[in-house]
Amino acid sequence: MTDPITPHVRSRAAMEDASRDLSYPPSPEALVVAVYDNHTHLEIADGENPMHYREHLDRASAVGVRGVVQVGTDVQTSRWSAAIAAREPRVLAAVAIHPNEAATLAENGELDAALEAIDELAAQPRVVAIGETGLDFYRTDSESGRAAQLRAFEEHIRIAKRHNLALQIHDRDAHDDVVATLRRVGAPERTVFHCFSGGIELASILAENGWYASFAGPVTFKNGRDLREALDVLPRALLLVETDAPFLTPHPFRGRPNSPYLLPHTLRAMADHLGTDVSMLAAQISSNTEQVYGQWDAEPVTAPGDPWADRPDAEHPEPDDVSGRPDELTTDQGGA
């Protein structure tokens, strides 16, 4: 029997080039003023010793990352995200069908049922955002796949507005269509471009509309100049920060497993580029984050127990539930 709140077993390590360094980087120096990780996937295992979600959160707390938005990419991971948010004060949840997943579900005639399930999850306490949804023209280039993504994106926008939730957008090689869709359907009051990937032009559109830009590891990369230029033109009140863990690990640990405790590297690189004090920027971003999602303790945790018990391998001794097995891998959601 499958536990309804056990997420897909996904292992990034098994999906990608196994030659990369699979060790978790050391913890950075703790922040003085705490921030939140606006977008992470704690259910995706990575590294030679995958961590339980509570270890991720404990290491994050120790360096001043006080909470995370745990993001679903399909019905099962969305359900899991809502379930841990209900049990864990450091977690709020976002639920959605990822655009690449939407294309696959549509092919199988399963998209409508999945969107209905997301609509139901959106009503749960501590579900604060609809995401990640949007358009991904990098991985999906067929006409029908793009049409399915668009249909799913439009429906997610409606769900976010119906439940008065924030929207977390995945936009990969699709800036113009994402913006056009938001304008056509009408953007929710709090709209976030997760892993912001535009330059000055897109940043100006966000600034005009009051949409938020959440920066991930790439803003620290050598080739991240466009992102840093975008940072310069965005009002500070629209800035957010995220890891998108286990992907997009910030410099100087690019390629190694990512986790919310590595967020300070990205925040410090942003402050450094902006020529501002790290604590000032942290205070601004924390306040922005609470504007978008509310307070982490606004809805107290209520559900008893824990979906993975104490350790993933305690309930699922064979094999370790978070280590991932190639035969159970589903599609790669990651990278943004």
Residues within the interface to Zn ion (CB under 5 A): 244
Q: Is the previous residue joined to 246 through a cis bond, with omega within 30 degrees of 0?
A: yes
Minimum CB–partner distance for residue 103 and Zn ion (Å) = 16
Whether the CB-CB separation of 213 and 258 falls below 8 Å is answered with no
Residue closer to Zn ion by CB (options 37, 244) is 244
| Residue tagged 């310069």 (tokens) | 232
Residue closer to Zn ion by CB (options 30, 81) is 81
Residue closer to Zn ion by CB (options 266, 271) is 266
Residue closer to Zn ion by CB (options 43, 244) is 244
Cα Rg, the chain, nearest whole Å: 18
Minimum CB–partner distance for residue 169 and Zn ion (Å) = 11
CB atoms < 10 A from the CB of 232, how many?
10
Residue closer to Zn ion by CB (options 50, 232) is 50
Residue closer to Zn ion by CB (options 46, 244) is 244
Minimum CB–partner distance for residue 174 and Zn ion (Å) = 15
Query: Which residue's C-beta sits nearest to Zn ion?
Result: 244
Q: What is the DSSP letter of 128?
A: E
List the beta strands (DSSP E) in the chain: 10-11, 35-40, 44-45, 65-71, 91-95, 127-136, 166-172, 191-194, 212-215, 239-241
CA 306 – CA 300 distance, rounded (Å): 15
Whether the CB-CB separation of 284 and 237 falls below 8 Å is answered with yes
CB atoms < 10 A from the CB of 44, how many?
27
Minimum CB–partner distance for residue 266 and Zn ion (Å) = 14
H/E stretch holding 308: none
Minimum CB–partner distance for residue 71 and Zn ion (Å) = 5
Minimum CB–partner distance for residue 218 and Zn ion (Å) = 13
